[in-house]
Structure 1
Amino acid sequence: MRPPYTITDKILSLIVSISEKIGEINAHHLYKPATELRRKNRIKTIQSSLEIEGNTLTEEQITALLDNKRIIAPLKDIREVQNAIEVYSRLHEFNPASPRDLEKAHAILMKDLIDKAGKLRTSNVGIVKGSKVEHIAPGGMMVKGLINDLFKYVKNDPELVLVKSCVFHYEFEFIHPFLDGNGRMGRLWQTLILMQQYPVFEYLPVESLIKENQEEYYNTLSESDKKGNSTPFIEFMLTLILETLQQLLRSQNTNLNTTDRLLLFHEKVKNRRFSRKDYLQHFKNISAPTASRDLKWAVDQKMLEKYGEQRLTEYVFISKN
């Protein structure tokens, strides 16, 4: 059964705006940012998602852990970051429509933090904030069935991925399927759902905007609880997604360097042969001499194998295996 929500005029307007921004990003080849920006955004994503849950580590400390350096910090916080680094580095291993993969990811994310990492809860829980019970989650015996229904929606429903990812995020938080780690898992899995259709979301730190709007994030979850549908949460999350895309377009230099262009083109052509003309058709904003310099550099660096001469010249990326 489809989870309850309504597609409002605001949701439709946000979807149109997001689609336009994604089109701009694709046109400028920003869907996979330059290596350094990818790393920076990944660190920001991990730091923001964990800070929402009370982790104290800074971006600088997370960078140090990513470089296998020692830091002085609470052991629990260090373990949370190490686990998050691992799970985000393995995103491509998880199928967003697989409950089993959800459990695998949770086992990595919560390793050495809780006793039953990777196991759906079977006991009853309530979410307490301060002295107030904020949310009574569905009974433990209902969890497995509810999660299976939610994943059937993800896999089979024809709804737009942008909407579906938000619905999943809300419903996941409502079900609260694990004893702990549900917030960071819900945010992780929304990213996973989005990146299947839009690669840019793999490195887009939506979590940092959630952190900046943390009170509204929880208030909107609560509002959806009270209304019995995820419509307010969908509107909220789509607004943050649009803002994150706008930030990317404002901040990213669209003049890619040689390495960035070659890496992007490798993803497109894989191991097929191509000509300089093919390369130019993909990067319409560079000149023919720039394309020639790119390709010569790649040959010199043994990234490319060159075949033929002059107009008959073709190239193929050299496999690293």
Structure 2
Amino acid sequence: MSYQPPFTITSKMLSLVSDIVEIITDIKHIETNLKTPKLRKKNRVKSITGTLQIEGNTFSEEKVTNVINGITVLGTMREIAEVQGAIKAYEHFDNYVYKKEKDLLLSHKLMMEKLVSSAGSYRHTNVGVGDQNGVTHVAPPALAVPELMGNLFEWLQNTKDHPLIVSCVFHYEFEFIHPFEDGNGRVGRLWQSVILNQYKKIFGFIPIESVVREHQASYYKALEASGSAGESTPFIEFMLEIILKTLKNASNESVPKNVPRNVPKNRLNEILKLIEKNKEITSIQIAERLKVSDKTIKRDMATLKEQGRLQRVGSLKSGHWEVLDDEQ
């Protein structure tokens, strides 16, 4: 592998990756809720709305939903074309192979075919990226783009780094190269989600782009900070924080709203009943029986120990649990 994007693995990154992996495990029990057609459509609308609003599109989630449903909406021709393009690009979400450069070009073609004549092709002109204060980043020359993108995909195909970090590195490097005439932000955010989706399917059901929109100013600051640093480290840390926030939001939103208020107390009693039947039972086995996460059960067992209703006898490896009262 000849090209290695510059970045530094930091303790903050490792901590965030650990937290993300933990929460992915923790929300396994609600993954079915996230995959319901209604919730998936809602989150897809959030993704499309968020990524377009970052680029200045004024359409709300309601208006994007109307476009999806074929309902006439008021808006400029360009805004409507942006929404229609994003819908087409995200409809292919599960079919993209993130390591294939031709699939990324296809996503750009679908996203931008009504907006630019060069949709699906790399730019042939030099560009600068800027804001109201002027140019903030001069992208590499157009002639260098094919080689740079080829190198980036070669790295993507061969890297052994954690997929969570890889997705962030690719996102930054892609924006740095700025390979297209227009639509780079949209495609970069989409492709990070595609990489994450092929790491864990849960990422196909959560709207990371929407959370980026909520932290848009910080998003651009992280891009600029990485540009100044000459490596993607600040951007990786920022995007890992965004991924963690998105997962936490998904966990909170996917808990059924009609759960009885006495469920936690009932669950404590159910834990004690299971332990009375099998003193060697593990927290993982209890979690599977009660259809909650291992983290939740460990928290409940800590509560039971604090209440003086449960104790551990012997070591974690060879000991067993004992119920200290018979109050059920």
TM-score range, shorter-chain basis?
A: 0.7 to 0.9
Q: Secondary structure at the match of 1:134?
A: strand
Report the equivalent of 1:87: 89
Q: Secondary structure at the match of 2:129?
A: strand
Supply the AA of the counterpart residue of 1:168.
F
In the superposition, the TM-score normalised over structure 1's length comes to 0.78
CA distance change for structure 1 residues 283 and 226 in 2, over 3 Å: closer, same or farther? same
Cα distance change on mapping 1:31 and 1:218 into 2, 3 Å: farther
Matched, 1:193 2:199: no
Q: What's 2:165 paired with?
A: 163
Please tell me whether the aligned partners of residues 137 and 175 of structure 1 are also in contact (alpha carbons under 8 angstroms): yes
Match of 1:115 in 2: 117
RMSD: 2.1
The within-5 A match list for 1:274-293 is 284-285=289-290
By how many angstroms is 1:67 displaced?
A: 0.9
Q: 2:78 is aligned with what amino acid?
A: K
Pick from 123, 141, 145 the counterpart of residue 139 of structure 1. 141
User: Given that residues 122 and 141 in structure 1 are in contact (C-alpha distance below 8 angstroms), is that contact kept between their aligned partners in structure 2?
Assistant: yes
1:12-161 counterparts in 2 under 5 A? 12-30=14-32, 32-161=34-163
2:214 counterpart residue number? 212
3-state SS in 2 of match to 1:113? coil
Larger Rg: 2
**Could you tell me how far 1:100 is from its partner in structure 2?**
1.0
Q: Tell me the residue number matched to 1:252.
A: 254
Cα distance change, pair 154–254 in 1 and its aligned pair in 2 (3 A): farther
Cα distance change of structure 1 residues 37 and 144 upon mapping to structure 2, 3 Å threshold: same
Deviation at 1:285, TM superposition (A): 4.2
Q: Which amino acid aligns with 2:81?
A: R
Structure 2, gaps ≥5 residues long: 259-286, 292-328
Residues 18, 241 of structure 1: 8 Å contact kept:
yes
Summarize deviations over 1:214-256 as a string: whole Å, max 9, x none: 1110011001001000000000000010011111111212699
Shift of 1:197: 1.5
Contact 1:32 1:199 in 2 (8 A): no
The Cα shift of 1:26 comes to 1.9
Distance in 1 of aligned mates of 2:29 and 2:70: 36
Instruction: State the aligned residue count.
Output: 263
Q: Is the 8 A contact 1:28 1:254 kept in 2?
A: no
Residue 31 of structure 1 contacts residue 199 of structure 1 at CA under 8 Å; is this kept in 2? Answer: no
Q: Is the 8 A contact 1:83 1:109 kept in 2?
A: yes
Q: Do 2:30 and 2:255's aligned partners in 1 also have CA atoms closer than 8 Å?
A: no
Question: Partners of 1:209 and 1:29 in 2: how far apart?
Answer: 19
Distance 1:59 1:239 in 2: 24
The percentage of aligned residue pairs carrying the same residue is 41
Secondary structure of 2:73's counterpart equals coil
Shift of 1:284: 4.3
Cα pair distance change 1:211/1:102, threshold 3 Å: same
TM-score, normalised with respect to structure 2: 0.77
Q: Deviations over 1:121-175 (max 9, x none)?
A: 1221111212511100001111011101111111111110000000000000000
